Amino acid sequence: MNSLRHFDLIFWDFDGVIKDSVEVKTDAYLSLFPNVSKEVLAKIKSHHLDYGGISRLEKIPLYLEWVGVQPTNQVVSEYLDQFANLVVQKVISSPWVPGVEQTLKQKQIHQKFVIVTGTPQTEIEEILVQLRIDSTFDRIFGAPTQKSKAIKWALQNYNIKKEDSILIGDSKTDWLAAKETGIQFLLRETDNSDFSIHYSGNKIKDFIGFI
């Protein structure tokens, strides 16, 4: 696959698809827990990379349990604030996935572009505004909206067939959302995902040369 022109509805994950920002998030999760064992840190890192599309709203309570901290609402809220402070500017300043800016600019008149990401709603909106690409997208879905629910909403509201729709993601979570909703999937390969190695469907390293 080297073209997106024949798709009427394109769903875009953000981290690892538009910005090479997965490592920023990985580092942030690990820095939240500076005093835990290497084994637990390795477990957190592995889980985060394997489930890239899952929101921090689900991950942080889980990781707190793993490090032996009771994930009360107040504690989770404090860790979420710490995480947001660590990542927003770093995500904005992280490198673009090669070729993606040009691909976004080549959006056709008939196409709808929709963001589906595990990043919290207000945060992804802020990031897209600062990157000046917010107007490229017809709809933006961040956490806590589940990707599959966002896809179903768009298919119904834009009245577009499943076979004319595709999700571009970089994780197993993204692939599962596409599979659950019956749309096509394009994997953006990254070095830090075991899923990339085993996935045998359509995949790309970057968007250079994409039409």
- The DSSP H or E segment spanning 11 is strand 9-12
What's the whole-number mean pLDDT along residues 190-204?
Answer: 83
Is 9 in a helix, a strand, or coil?
A: strand
What's the whole-number mean pLDDT along residues 103-116?
Answer: 96
- For residue 42 the two structure tokens come to 């390795």
Q: Which is it for strands 184-188 and 203-204: parallel, antiparallel or unpaired?
A: parallel
Output the pLDDT for position 196. Answer: 81
Please, are residues 203 and 2 in contact by the beta-carbon 8 Å criterion?
no
Rounded distance, CA 2 to CA 80, Å? 38
Is 184 in a helix, a strand, or coil?
A: strand
DSSP 35: T
Output the pLDDT for position 1. Answer: 74
What's the whole-number mean pLDDT along residues 113-140?
Answer: 97
- End-to-end, the C-alpha distance of the chain in Å comes to 10
Q: Please name which of 53, 18, 49 lies closest in space to residue 207, comparing C-alpha atoms.
A: 18
pTM of the full predicted structure? 0.90
